[in-house]
Amino acid sequence: MADLLIDETDREILELLREDARRTLGDIGARVTLSTAAVKRRIDRMQENGVITGYTVQIDHTKLGWGIEAFTELRFTGTTKVGEIVRTTTRMPEAQAVFTIAGDPDALVWLRVRDMAHLQRTIDEIRRHHQVTGTKTLMVLDSWTRGQQWPHPDA
Protein backbone atom coordinates (compact mmCIF):
# COMPACT_ATOMS: atom_id res chain seq x y z
CA MET A 1 0.00 0.00 0.00
CA ALA A 2 2.85 2.40 0.78
CA ASP A 3 4.02 2.14 -2.82
CA LEU A 4 0.74 3.76 -3.88
CA LEU A 5 1.36 6.68 -1.52
CA ILE A 6 4.87 7.62 -2.61
CA ASP A 7 6.75 8.32 -5.82
CA GLU A 8 10.45 8.22 -6.67
CA THR A 9 11.07 11.72 -5.26
CA ASP A 10 9.43 10.66 -2.00
CA ARG A 11 11.73 7.62 -1.94
CA GLU A 12 14.75 9.89 -2.37
CA ILE A 13 13.51 12.10 0.48
CA LEU A 14 13.01 9.04 2.69
CA GLU A 15 16.51 7.78 1.92
CA LEU A 16 18.01 11.18 2.79
CA LEU A 17 16.07 11.25 6.07
CA ARG A 18 17.08 7.66 6.82
CA GLU A 19 20.73 8.66 6.39
CA ASP A 20 20.32 11.74 8.61
CA ALA A 21 16.94 12.63 10.11
CA ARG A 22 18.34 16.02 11.19
CA ARG A 23 18.96 17.06 7.59
CA THR A 24 17.39 20.44 6.81
CA LEU A 25 14.47 20.80 4.42
CA GLY A 26 16.64 23.13 2.32
CA ASP A 27 19.38 20.52 2.01
CA ILE A 28 16.85 17.85 1.04
CA GLY A 29 15.26 20.21 -1.48
CA ALA A 30 18.63 20.95 -3.09
CA ARG A 31 19.35 17.24 -3.44
CA VAL A 32 15.98 16.35 -4.97
CA THR A 33 15.54 19.64 -6.88
CA LEU A 34 12.45 20.85 -5.00
CA SER A 35 11.74 23.95 -2.98
CA THR A 36 11.87 23.80 0.81
CA ALA A 37 8.08 24.24 0.92
CA ALA A 38 7.54 21.36 -1.52
CA VAL A 39 9.78 19.08 0.56
CA LYS A 40 7.88 20.04 3.71
CA ARG A 41 4.54 19.26 2.05
CA ARG A 42 5.80 15.86 0.92
CA ILE A 43 7.19 14.99 4.37
CA ASP A 44 3.98 16.18 6.06
CA ARG A 45 1.91 14.04 3.65
CA MET A 46 4.08 10.97 4.32
CA GLN A 47 3.67 11.51 8.06
CA GLU A 48 -0.12 11.89 7.72
CA ASN A 49 -0.30 8.72 5.58
CA GLY A 50 1.77 6.76 8.08
CA VAL A 51 4.75 6.20 5.78
CA ILE A 52 6.97 8.16 8.18
CA THR A 53 6.18 6.93 11.67
CA GLY A 54 8.81 8.79 13.67
CA TYR A 55 12.39 9.90 13.99
CA THR A 56 15.12 8.36 16.07
CA VAL A 57 18.72 8.65 17.17
CA GLN A 58 21.44 6.03 16.69
CA ILE A 59 23.42 5.28 19.84
CA ASP A 60 26.82 3.65 20.23
CA HIS A 61 25.87 1.30 23.05
CA THR A 62 29.46 0.13 23.46
CA LYS A 63 30.42 3.61 24.67
CA LEU A 64 27.63 3.36 27.24
CA GLY A 65 28.90 0.03 28.52
CA TRP A 66 26.30 -2.20 26.87
CA GLY A 67 28.44 -3.56 24.02
CA ILE A 68 27.49 -7.24 23.99
CA GLU A 69 24.60 -8.34 21.79
CA ALA A 70 22.96 -11.73 21.61
CA PHE A 71 19.86 -13.35 20.22
CA THR A 72 18.00 -15.79 22.41
CA GLU A 73 15.56 -18.29 20.98
CA LEU A 74 12.63 -18.93 23.33
CA ARG A 75 10.36 -21.95 23.47
CA PHE A 76 7.08 -21.82 25.37
CA THR A 77 4.41 -24.23 26.52
CA GLY A 78 1.86 -24.98 23.82
CA THR A 79 -0.90 -22.98 25.51
CA THR A 80 1.05 -19.69 25.68
CA LYS A 81 -0.65 -16.81 23.84
CA VAL A 82 1.42 -14.64 21.50
CA GLY A 83 0.82 -11.55 23.64
CA GLU A 84 2.23 -13.36 26.66
CA ILE A 85 5.29 -14.39 24.67
CA VAL A 86 5.98 -10.74 23.89
CA ARG A 87 5.35 -9.59 27.47
CA THR A 88 7.88 -12.12 28.80
CA THR A 89 10.79 -9.84 27.92
CA THR A 90 9.52 -6.41 26.90
CA ARG A 91 9.82 -5.03 30.42
CA MET A 92 13.51 -6.01 30.57
CA PRO A 93 15.89 -3.14 29.71
CA GLU A 94 18.19 -5.70 28.07
CA ALA A 95 15.54 -6.63 25.47
CA GLN A 96 15.96 -4.52 22.33
CA ALA A 97 13.33 -6.32 20.26
CA VAL A 98 11.11 -9.38 20.43
CA PHE A 99 10.08 -11.30 17.33
CA THR A 100 7.35 -13.92 17.57
CA ILE A 101 7.91 -16.44 14.82
CA ALA A 102 6.17 -19.43 13.28
CA GLY A 103 7.60 -22.85 13.97
CA ASP A 104 10.34 -23.75 16.41
CA PRO A 105 11.36 -21.65 18.34
CA ASP A 106 8.37 -19.50 19.33
CA ALA A 107 10.26 -16.22 19.69
CA LEU A 108 13.60 -14.57 19.07
CA VAL A 109 14.75 -11.89 21.50
CA TRP A 110 17.51 -9.40 20.67
CA LEU A 111 19.43 -8.67 23.87
CA ARG A 112 22.03 -6.04 24.72
CA VAL A 113 24.08 -6.47 27.92
CA ARG A 114 27.19 -5.12 29.67
CA ASP A 115 29.19 -8.34 30.03
CA MET A 116 28.88 -12.13 30.10
CA ALA A 117 27.75 -12.20 33.75
CA HIS A 118 24.99 -9.73 32.86
CA LEU A 119 23.97 -11.97 29.95
CA GLN A 120 23.82 -14.97 32.25
CA ARG A 121 21.62 -13.12 34.76
CA THR A 122 19.36 -11.98 31.92
CA ILE A 123 18.96 -15.51 30.51
CA ASP A 124 18.32 -16.84 34.03
CA GLU A 125 15.59 -14.21 34.48
CA ILE A 126 13.94 -15.23 31.20
CA ARG A 127 14.11 -18.92 32.15
CA ARG A 128 12.33 -18.23 35.46
CA HIS A 129 9.16 -17.34 33.52
CA HIS A 130 6.81 -20.28 34.15
CA GLN A 131 5.82 -20.74 30.50
CA VAL A 132 9.36 -20.77 29.04
CA THR A 133 10.37 -24.36 28.32
CA GLY A 134 13.75 -23.70 26.72
CA THR A 135 16.24 -21.15 25.45
CA LYS A 136 19.19 -21.08 23.08
CA THR A 137 21.46 -18.04 22.96
CA LEU A 138 23.52 -16.94 19.98
CA MET A 139 26.27 -14.32 20.47
CA VAL A 140 26.66 -11.50 17.94
CA LEU A 141 30.23 -11.13 16.67
CA ASP A 142 29.57 -8.30 14.22
CA SER A 143 26.54 -6.81 12.53
CA TRP A 144 25.29 -4.79 9.60
CA THR A 145 21.85 -3.19 9.38
CA ARG A 146 20.12 -1.90 6.31
CA GLY A 147 17.82 0.22 8.41
CA GLN A 148 14.22 0.66 7.54
CA GLN A 149 14.54 0.66 3.81
CA TRP A 150 11.62 -0.43 1.72
CA PRO A 151 11.91 -3.07 -0.98
CA HIS A 152 13.19 -1.62 -4.22
CA PRO A 153 10.68 -2.05 -7.05
CA ASP A 154 13.31 -3.85 -9.15
CA ALA A 155 14.02 -6.40 -6.42
Reported as a single tens digit per residue, the pLDDT across 8-67 is 999 999 999 988 999 999 999 999 999 999 999 999 999 999 999 999 888 889 999 999
pTM over 0.85: no
Burial 28-59 (b: 16+ CB within 10 A, else e): bbeebebeeeebeebbeebeeeebbeeeeeee
Sign of the CA dihedral running 24, 30, 33, 34? positive
- Asked whether residue 112 carries a pLDDT value surpassing 90, the answer given is yes
